[in-house]
Homo-oligomer: A and B are copies of this chain.
Amino acid sequence: MAETNLQILLRRRPQGMPAPDDFEIVETPVPEPAEGEVLVRARYLSLDPYMRGRMSDAKSYAKPVELGAVMEGQTAGEVVASRAPGFAPGDTVLGGYGWQRFSCVRPERLFKVDPQEAPLSTSLGVLGMPGLTAWVGLEDIGQPKAGETLVVSAASGAVGQVAGQIGKIRGCRVVGIAGGPRKCAFVTQELGFDACLDHHADDLAAQLDRACPDGIDVYWENVGGPVQAAVFPRLNDFGRMVMCGMIAQYNVAPGADAAGAPPGPNLGPVVRKRLRIQGFIVSDTGWPRYPAFRRQMLGWIREGRMKWREDVVQGLRNAPEAFIGLLQGRNFGKLVVAVD
């Protein structure tokens, strides 16, 4: 085990796409847990698109990371030392302890997970925040019913994979949208979606018409931009648009209503078709439901109905580069860093 801590700090706020120089990698002493704290060593760090928002000081739903502070993020790891009741060295825990090897955490911010149930890294993906996001968003907003058509953007990504497979379990026709033929093949052949369209294609609208002959009832929105523009007019009466994210504009319009944000769809069809367009953030209501979610997801995994793909990057020092690749769509599957 390394005897120093390794931390990745936010050095400056990016303009547009983040650059490696926006981060700073430092070695520091391993911290000592105070009374009531647990010292945790991260094994996996989750990299997720929302982190781009935390790098900016535009008004958002969560406070930005301060300059010079450790980047925020979910991690899965193990307890090294404990001065808190209920936690002992060797316990496997999930928590938001940031882009760093070691950290001292208060136990109310930790979930104990059983590493026998599934590989530890899945607690950051299919069994973690991204899976919970898909589950909560479909349960609360999308509400897909058997026979309906669900379209999922960023379909091979951490959230999209799960959202589409839940749609299949619910009896929907599920059509993914992903970047490139390799991802599309994975989405149909491995995840079992009914079709997957390449958003690089210049005839996405026509492809949607062919793939969704009965229109679209639920749209899982992860991307915004031209994909949203193609899907929106194809929503059926009483269609639901689950607004999970709009990664296509995270680097062009950090405050999305700031001057310069590209316009969106005319909302006339919202009245005429009785559409519901609703955004959510998993942390608002998701975590108290985590145990129920995890139970259901583990059941689906055991039954072979829920698959996943991870893109594992070795070494914490490579996290900035991997995160930039995530914003560019270069990852393939749930992006995690194996912390050395």
Q: Which of A8-16, A150-158, A162-170, A262-270 lies at the binding interface?
A: A262-270
Tell me, yes or no, whether A60 is within 8 Å of chain B by CB: yes
- Contact: B246 with A268, CB < 8 Å? yes
A266 engages B253 (CB within 8 Å): yes
C-beta contact mask, A271-288 vs B, less than 8 Å → 1, else 0? 111111111110010000
Residue among A60, A253, A267 having the largest count of chain B Cβ atoms under 10 Å: A267
- Chain B residues with Cβ below 8 Å from A266 are 249, 253, 256-257, 261-264
Interface string of A189-210 (1 = CB under 8 A from B): 0000000000000000000000
A272 → B minimal CB distance (Å): 6
Residues 120-149 of A at the B interface (beta carbon under 8 Å):
none
User: Which residues in chain A, 244-262, are within 8 Å of chain B measured between CB atoms?
Assistant: 244-246, 249, 253, 256-257, 261-262
* With A61-B237, A279-B274 as contacts: A224 and B257 at CB distance below 8 Å: no
Closest residue of chain B to A277 (Cβ to Cβ) is B277
A269–B243 Cα distance when bound, in Å, is 10
Residue A233 at the B interface, CB < 8 A?
yes
Nearest to A238 among chain B residues (CB) is B284
How does the 8 Å CB contact mask read for A19-63 relative to B, with 1 for contact and 0 for none?
000000000000000000000000000000000010000001100
> Does A75 sit at the interface, judged by CB under 8 A?
no
Q: A61-B237, A237-B61, A263-B263 known; A224 and B268 CB under 8 Å?
A: yes
Q: Which residues of B have CB within 8 Å of A232?
A: 257
CB contacts (< 8 Å) of A271 on chain B: these are 243-246, 279-281
For A254, give the chain B residue with the smallest CB separation. Answer: B268
Contacts known (A257-B233, A264-B263); A275 close to B279, Cβ less than 8 A: yes
Residue from A256, A268, A272 with most neighbouring chain B CB atoms (10 Å): A268
Contact partners of A277 in chain B: CB under 8 A: 267, 270, 275-278
Q: How many whole Å from A63's CB to the nearest CB in chain B?
A: 13
Provide 23 A-B residue pairs closer than 8 Å at the C-beta atoms, listed in order of the A residue. Answer: A60-B272, A61-B237, A61-B272, A228-B267, A232-B257, A233-B257, A244-B271, A256-B268, A257-B269, A261-B266, A263-B265, A264-B264, A264-B267, A270-B278, A270-B279, A271-B279, A271-B280, A271-B281, A272-B279, A274-B279, A274-B280, A274-B281, A275-B277
Top-8 shortest CB links A-B: A256-B268, A263-B263, A261-B266, A270-B279, A271-B279, A277-B277, A276-B278, A233-B257
Given contacts A243-B267, A277-B277, A277-B278, 9 further A-B contacts (CB under 8 A): A61-B274, A224-B267, A243-B271, A257-B268, A262-B266, A263-B263, A270-B277, A273-B279, A278-B278
